[in-house]
Amino acid sequence: MPLSFHKMHANGDDFVIVDSRNSASLVTSAIVQRMGDRNRGVGFNQLAVLLDCDDADARVMFWNADGSALDVCGSATRGAADLLMREANVASVVLRTHRGLLTCERTPTGDICVDMGVPIFGWSDIPLAQALDSAVLPLAGSPAACSMGNPHCTYFVDDLANVDIATIGPAIETNALFPLKTNVHFVQIIDRTHIRLRIWERGAGIAQGSGSCSCGAVVNGIRRGLLGSAVEVECDGGSVTVQWDGVGPVFLIGPVKTSFSGTMSQG
């Protein structure tokens, strides 16, 4: 049976949405890997599956292109919210994820704002392999770590042009300090309201953008006293806004667009 999907992107951070509401989900790790192949499949950084839910507008499950599961994806959450809001002609929806209930709203400019929940800093909850201060890790470059439902490691650098992301990214992703691996970000601070961000995404590699990585990078910058409470995050593919008051939930605001819809053979 062909598998129907929507290919979408958020500033070039591309993902696929599969709607399995009112039916059994056909998505498996093997199918995700085949669909995620950019030469033989559809190609994406993440895939999200919409499922029926009793206490929200839908439940969403997320996969990386390598077939591994993850708890949350900020870009694909915005995409799922956009599809559901358009379908129901409403301005807000609530999605059930492994991260919890995420409230999503359409802004007056058409962007999608997601309440991404409260960031996590405890070493065992990120998780780290040993009890450490997550604000300053004992790695070269003294990065900071946090979790937005998935682990993040943030480096603050003077000039992104001097960072070999393709070499450093996978080495940190698989470092023994991170038992579940980690997303890796490299941040150049323009000013307290604006950063330039480049990303090595766990299970996906160099990414044009990432909602959860944008959140993790800003949160770690605020913890370090380097950033204000509302920050423009300029990624390779475009910009999003991240807001955090230092106590409560993190808000991710940015555009999302549908590229095309189609079906893919499972054979």
230-245 pLDDT per residue, tens: 999 999 999 999 999 9
Name residues whose C-beta falls within 8 Å of residue 83's C-beta, 6 or more positions apart in sequence.
6, 17, 19, 50, 258
The per-residue pLDDT for range 50-98, each reduced to its tens digit, is 999 999 999 999 999 999 998 899 999 999 999 999 999 999 999 999 9
The count of other CB atoms within 10 Å of the CB of residue 91 is 11
Q: Residue 115: its pLDDT value, please?
A: 97
| Residue whose token pair is 């900071």 | 144
Q: With a cut of 50, list the residues of the chain below it in pLDDT.
A: none
Using DSSP's 3-state secondary structure scheme, residue 139 falls into coil
- Element housing 216 (H / E): helix 211-223
User: In 3D, which of 155, 168, 229, 167 has the Cα closest to residue 196?
Assistant: 155
Q: Is the pTM of the predicted complex or chain greater than 0.85?
A: yes
Mean pLDDT, the chain, integer: 95
Q: Which domains, ranges and CATH numbers included, belong to the chain?
A: 3-106+256-264 (3.10.310.10), 144-248 (3.10.310.10)
Contacts of 127 (CB under 8 A, 6+ apart): 147, 151, 178, 179, 180
CA-to-CA distance for 189 and 52, rounded, in angstroms?
42
